[in-house]
Amino acid sequence: MIVSGELPPGERLREVRICNQLGVSRTPVREAFRTLAAEGMVELLPNRSVVVAQLRSPDVEHLYQVVAALEALAGELACQRINEAEIAEIAAIHSDMVGCYERRERSAYLDLNHLIHRRVVEIASNPVLLATWESLLPRVERARAIANLEPSRWIAAVHEHSKMFAALAARDGALLARLTREHFMNGLKFVPTGDS
């Protein structure tokens, strides 16, 4: 709910309401709050309340720079290693994602978008790269989802994904790396931050 923007930055999370909504007791919700705080997704305040963390511009910019570099490297490596079956798999996911965009099914679109990015990183076959990428994923997915709330960014992201897929299918690692970096940095200006 935080990643999708359903729970926006600054919103206070009421423990009882979340327990009822998710159908769980307080213990797993409290554990989840601690985990989310460690990931930078929520802030635990002194009065024992929990709020969705604001996105801060220097932090988001630094995060985007690092994840863009990781995914650019993943793209280069994936272009060296990808096989025809994997290209067909990503083509099908991409087609489904575009269909979700056309139907304005935002949640399904974000899931497929995430799956494409994940598959490219997995196809790169570098466990250190994958582990590092996964550790940063919750924060970047949240910022990316919020950026895609802006209609002009959403359509631009779809077009960027089409170009990125073409580069992957052509096994052009240098082009895919450049397009991946641009994709991230183009989205950055659409991420609202608590200090802007």
Q: What is the pTM of this model?
A: 0.78
Pure H helices in the chain: 15-22, 26-38, 57-81, 84-103, 106-123, 127-147, 151-169, 173-188
> Tens of pLDDT along 66-85?
999 999 999 999 999 999 99
Q: Is 10 left (phi over 0), alpha (psi -120 to 50) or beta?
A: left
Looking at the structure, give the CATH architecture of the domain made up of residues 12-52.
Orthogonal Bundle (1.10)
> Tens of pLDDT along 1-10?
887 677 888 8
Q: Would you mind telling me the total number of residues written for the chain in this entry? A: 196
Hey, where are the domains in the chain? 12-52, 57-188
Fold of 57-188: Four Helix Bundle (Hemerythrin (Met), subunit A) (1.20.120)
The residue with tokens 């994840």 is 67
> Tens of pLDDT along 104-125?
998 899 899 999 999 999 999 9
